[in-house]
Structure 1
Amino acid sequence: MARSVNRSARTGRFVSKATASRWPSKTTREAVGSGTSNKRTVTRSAATGRFVPKGRGDSDPGGTIRQRV
């Protein structure tokens, strides 16, 4: 079963719930563990959580996060 974790879009490190609530536009919540296939790399906006093109991730690495889904 997958669990949810918070991650900094800037560093890629895991952060606490308090940090994620303090900086919602610079963190993202993601599922980890069994139940996730981790086969494909996607880019998401840290502010909205929506998928964005790879080029946007290249141009704004502090505001986006890449993850495998």
Structure 2
Amino acid sequence: MAHRSSITGRYISKAAAARHPRTSVTESGSNKSSGTHHRSASSGRFITPAQAARNPKGSLTERG
């Protein structure tokens, strides 16, 4: 599994993800979808673009 920072968008270590659970996203599987999707860093669920705009440090934008 890969861990990604929602602030920078870069991959981070497992230890860094454990230290900052609210601003990191754990990815599993392959991302084969197309388009742009927004995901909450705290819950891991997909969110609307408006929600991502209101909370840019707590969300991750994925482009496929």
User: How many residues align structurally?
Assistant: 64
Q: Which has the larger radius of gyration?
A: 1
Aligned amino acid, residue 45 of structure 1? S
| TM-superposed deviation, 1:38 | 3.8
List gaps (5 residues or longer) in structure 1.
Answer: none
Which structure's residues are more often helix, by fraction? 2
List gaps (5 residues or longer) in structure 2.
Answer: none
Describe the SS at the equivalent of 2:46.
coil
Among candidates 24, 28, 43, match of residue 27 of structure 1: 24
Cα distance between partner residues in 1 of 2:31 and 2:57: 25
Give runs of aligned pairs for residues 2-13 of structure 1, distance below 5 A. 4-13=1-10
**Percent identity among equivalent residues?**
34
Deviations 1:34-61 (A, max 9, x none): x532412111110000111111111111
Describe the SS at the equivalent of 1:62.
helix
**Structure-1-length-normalised TM-score:** 0.80
